[in-house]
Amino acid sequence: MRSRLFVVLAAVGFATTGTAQQLGPEASSPIAVATIRFFIGSMVLIALSRVHLGSSVRRTSQPIAPSITPSTWILTAFGQALYGAAFFSAVRSTGVAVGTVVALGSAPLITGVISAVTSRRLPTLLWLMTTAIAILGMGLIVASGNESQVTVSGVGLALCAGLGYAIFALGSKTILASGVPSEIAMARVFGIASIMLAPTLFFVNLSWLTQRDAIVMVLWLGVVTLALAYWSYATGLHHLEPSQATMITLVEPVVATLLGAVLLSERPSVLAWCGIFIVICALLFESRSATENMRH
């Protein structure tokens, strides 16, 4: 039960990401928000790793798992950078509910496609059924664009976020399987991602950072939705099966959808709500497949 609670807390933390951005200053740049979030989150994760891993941190200052090439770290960080920038842009464009559900719904499907291509193995029948159901749901969301705030560009950005997260998930699997502690692995990945996005700060307006609600927003995003949420998720996974963890994390799209409706007064059309429900059902079916990819 304790492990399940850790994963539930992580899922709720993840779910507040889009809402927190929308409640922040309207002038904020999605890419700048993602960059600052990664930087703050990576710093907090480093601090957590020092507190919880103690002497093992000193050992990890030596090269860990030399089999991990620099390209693996860079590709994994690129996936997270793409996910962060595209996700915040999608939420700004098409709303928290639609942006979150499409991004989360597409990520496991894209991961399955990449895994099938790289391993040269045909996907399972369950995965094919899940894909068909999720595509149907996303199709309904796109079709509702004329009736609600849903935009094709916003859905496209959410799909890019799903692609980024798929790359991040597969890269993380390789890194964590080599024995790198999860806190250190995530701190490095998010740190590299923040460096990748840092040059964009020279081309966006940062005057909004002087506002009080902006400071609260970036601290919440960096500390709660990234550092503490990923730490809580990794802690809970130690005593859970992948399928159990994935079932529990279905809390995330549900909570994100409810937060969008209650706090942001988002009112997707009936067709969009049907699409959201279908995508969540697809995730539920996907969670019944206890694969290692889903753990990450």
Single pTM value for the model: 0.83
Q: What distance in Å separates the CA atoms of residue 47 and residue 62, rounded to the nearest whole number? A: 18
Tell me what percent of the chain is helix, strand and coil, each rounded to the nearest 5: 80, 0, 20
Spatial neighbors of 98 by CB under 8 A, at least 6 apart, are 141, 150, 154, 155, 158, 268, 272, 276
Q: What distance in Å separates the CA atoms of residue 142 and residue 8, rounded to the nearest whole number? A: 29
Give CA separation, 14 vs 18, 56, 187, in Å. 9, 28, 17
The residue-averaged pLDDT of 170-177 equals 84
Do 224 and 45 form a contact (C-beta atoms < 8 A)?
Answer: no
pLDDT for residue 189: 92
Q: How many CB atoms lie within 10 A of CB 208?
A: 18
Weakest mean pLDDT among 99-108, 114-123, 182-191: 114-123
Weakest mean pLDDT among 82-96, 223-237, 247-261: 247-261
How sure is the predictor about 89, in pLDDT bands with cuts at 50, 70 and 90? very high
- Longest C-alpha distance within the chain, in Å? 58
Give CA separation, 274 vs 96, 137, 173, in Å. 16, 7, 33
Mean pLDDT, the chain, rounded, equals 82
Token pair for residue 188? 């490095």
Q: What distance in Å separates the CA atoms of residue 225 and residue 214, rounded to the nearest whole number? A: 15
The residue-averaged pLDDT of 229-257 equals 74
Q: How many CB atoms lie within 10 A of CB 113?
A: 15
Do 103 and 84 form a contact (C-beta atoms < 8 A)?
Answer: no
pLDDT for residue 53: 62
Q: What distance in Å separates the CA atoms of residue 226 and residue 228, rounded to the nearest whole number? A: 6
Q: N- to C-terminal Cα distance for the chain? A: 20
The residue-averaged pLDDT of 90-113 equals 86
Task: Specify burial of residue 58 (Cβ count, 10 A radius: 0-12, 13-18, 19+).
Answer: exposed
CA neighbor of 234 nearest in space, from 282, 191, 170, 180: 180
Give the pLDDT confidence of 105-152 residue by residue, as tens digits: 888 788 888 878 887 777 777 777 877 888 888 888 777 765 567 788
Give the pLDDT confidence of 37-46 residue by residue, as tens digits: 999 999 998 8
The answer, yes or no, to whether residue 293 has pLDDT greater than 70, is no
The answer, yes or no, to whether residue 57 has pLDDT greater than 50, is no
Block residue for tokens 């964009």: 200
